[in-house]
Each structure stands twice: as structure tokens, then as C-alpha cells.
Amino acid sequence: MRTLIYLIRKEFIQIFRDKFIGKAIFGIPIVQMLILVPAITFEIKNVKLCIVDRDMTIESRELVGQLEGSTFFNVRFSTFSEDEANNLLKKDKCDLILHIPSGFGEEIGNGNSGRIFVSANAINAANAQLSWAYLNGVIRDYNMNIITEKTGGLGFTSIPQVKVTNRYWYNEMLNYKFYMLPGILGILVLAIAFILAGLNLVKEKESGTIEQINVTPVKKYHFILAKIVPFLIIGLIDLALGLAIGKLAFNIPFEGSITLLFLCSTVFMVAVLGLALFLSTFAGTQQQFMFTGFFFMIIFILMSGIFTPLESMPVWAQKINLINPVVYIMRINRMVMLKGSTFYDINREIIALTVIAIVFTILAINRYRKTA
């Protein structure tokens, strides 16, 4: 135990000997939280719209007026030429083209269905789908206004209907910051643990100082644990810092147990640190580890569910995610912080993380070779 304490002390001295790293460890999380949480969002509030109105009736102008009054649309262009509108779409100057053909107002006046045509820029599929959904909402309101006018203000009131009232649990106002911050916290802890721990070991290889440890009777598990503990402590401090920023800057709710969150984050960090140290035993230089480390980090983050639902991924991707520790911490963070989930609600995630942490740590210990 005394040997382990001395090794941990040596690691802390080595980490903070580099003044830049010492500042970056606590400075980067602050910048990351303040920038990424409000910046990463899938909400669209400025859809650039081009109108091709060949009808020019009261009905078509009312539809355009409703679009102009919407908070989601910005009518940038209005033209009578479809070729001109298509060129604007190709040049990325507009996101949607609304084609209103001649006879639109006449069809509605005769009690028939009016037809319109919409062209969407679907290079970004998510933006196209959301823009289309917003446009459908405006058209639905426009249809209700027509029905109300035709029926003298009665609308469907005389017909029995099922009324649906929406209620969103855990994030009632659909504040995207509440959804993103728990995920950003997971990425924050991942970056601190994964990159710094791996680089720390490889740096000792490059400088040759690791040979001084190899000639001592220090056990391999002492060496690996001494590499894990300092970055585990630093990661938990950064997690506390991120939670404080989330509360003070964004008023993020915290419904669950903070002890449970830190416990799960500890297990997660052990898993990530074990993998980082395992990979660093294969790398001979810091460049080699950075290349390998970023490869795994990108896969872990993009497949974690922070941007896309896990259920929408292919079956083979969902199976790969069984060994992705970031998947479990994303789910745990959101469930504990937003839902107030208890240990029994997330016990499967905790068990999976524990197994991954044990496996990766054992692999790192077994793979490390005392070459002296």
C-alpha cells in the first residue's frame, strides 16, 4: 500500500510539473461547457424560404403571411420563376421552396383541396425533416383557419372529437440544454481520462523515465493503479466543476442522487482509463497513441447516443455498443440528473460498466511489460 501511495504521489508531481497541462486540466472543461452546451442543438429557428407564388390570390397571400409570421421561417426570396428558385436552392441560399400553382385560390374557394409543391434541401437530412415538420404545422393551422371561415366559426365543434393534451416529463419546456449537458459531461470526463492518461504513460516511454520504474520491484498492478488513480481524481473534480457550471450558467436541474452519479462516473472512468492504458502499451510514441486514441474516441462518442437514438442504429452497431462505456454513462447521466433514477433503475448499466472496467484494467495490467 505504501508503494502505491508513493507512486501516486510521483504521478501527481509529474502531471503538474507541466504548467500547461495543469492549467488545461481545469481550464478546458470550463470553456467546453460554456461553448458546447448552448451551441449543440438540433433546433432550427431560421429556415430560409423561397416563395414561387403563381396564384397571387388572397388565399395564397394568407398562406405566405402565416409563414412570414412563424418564428421558424424567414422568407428570403420571392419569384415567379421555378428555374431561379431551383438555382437559389442549388447555391444553398434557401432551404425550402414553396411552389403555389395558379388556381390554388380558386380550388379552395370551390371547396376543393388546394395543392402546393415543396422542394427541400436535404443535404442535411435532419434539417430537411425538421423544416418539413415545421411547414406542415403552419399548413395545418392554415387549414384550420379555412375550415373556421367556411363553417362560420364553428369548425369541428359540433363533431365529437378526441382531444389530446401533451405533457413532456423530465424536460417539460423541451429545453435542449437540459438534454445536452449530461451528454457533454460524459464527453468531458472521457477526454480528460482517455487522452491524458494514455499520453502520460507513452511520454514516460519516450523520455526513458519508465525504465527507472522497471528496474524496481514494483508490481505491474501497482504501476497501472498508480496511473489510474490521479486521473480518476482529476476527472471527478472536473465532473464537479462541470455540474457547478451547468447549475450556475444554465440552471440545469438535478433530480437524482449526486452520490450515485459520482459512483457511476468513477466506474466509467476506471473503464476508460483501463482502455487508455491498454492501448498505450502498444504505442511507442505519443503520435501513435493520439492516432489510436482519437479513432476510439470518435467511435465511442458518435455511437454513444448523444446525437442519434441508439434504437435507430443497425443491429450490428447496437451489438458493438455493448462494449462502449460512453453509451452507459450517457444513459446514466440523463436518467439520474433529469429523471431522478435510483440505483435499481440503472443497475444494468452499472453492472455493464463494472464488467467493462474490470476487463480493460486486467488487460492493461497483463499487457504491460517490465522490459528491464
Across the beta sheet with 117-120, the strand order is 73-79, 47-53, 96-100, 117-120
Higher pLDDT, 243 or 126: 243
Higher pLDDT, 214 or 303: 303
Burial 221-249 (b: 16+ CB within 10 A, else e): ebbbbbbbbbbbebbbebbeebbebbeee
By the 10 Å C-beta count (0-12 exposed, 13-18 middle, 19+ buried), 112 is classed as: exposed
Report the pLDDT averaged over residues 99-111.
86
pTM: 0.81
What's the pLDDT score for residue 122?
Answer: 87
For the ranges 1-5, 116-120, 338-342, the lowest mean pLDDT is seen at 1-5
pLDDT exceeds cutoff 60 at 295: yes
Cα 361 from Cα 276, distance rounded (Å): 9
- CATH 3.40.1710.10 occupies which residues in the chain? 47-150
What's the pLDDT score for residue 72?
Answer: 87
Higher pLDDT, 146 or 348: 348
pLDDT exceeds cutoff 80 at 252: yes
For the ranges 50-59, 142-151, 258-267, the lowest mean pLDDT is seen at 142-151
Identify the CA nearest to 273 among candidates 364, 146, 145, 147. 364
Give every CB contact of residue 122 below 8 A, 6+ residues apart in sequence. Answer: 128
What's the pLDDT score for residue 327?
Answer: 93
Pairing outcome for strands 47-53 and 117-120: unpaired
pLDDT exceeds cutoff 70 at 152: no
Share of the chain above pLDDT 90, in %: 27
What's the pLDDT score for residue 341?
Answer: 93
Identify the architecture of domain 47-150 in CATH: 3-Layer(aba) Sandwich (3.40)
Give every CB contact of residue 197 below 8 A, 6+ residues apart in sequence. Answer: 227, 228, 231, 273, 276, 277, 280
pLDDT exceeds cutoff 90 at 348: yes
Higher pLDDT, 321 or 193: 321
What's the pLDDT score for residue 188?
Answer: 85
How far CA 344 is from CA of 153, 321, 331, 347, 349, in Å, comes to: 53, 22, 14, 5, 10
pLDDT exceeds cutoff 60 at 265: yes
Cα 76 from Cα 358, distance rounded (Å): 57
How far CA 357 is from CA of 238, 263, 269, 271, in Å, comes to: 20, 13, 8, 4
What's the pLDDT score for residue 159?
Answer: 58
Report the pLDDT averaged over residues 205-232.
78
Cell numbers linked to 123: 443535404
Three-class SS state of 157: coil
What's the pLDDT score for residue 157?
Answer: 54
Cα 121 from Cα 92, distance rounded (Å): 8
Cα 67 from Cα 98, distance rounded (Å): 10
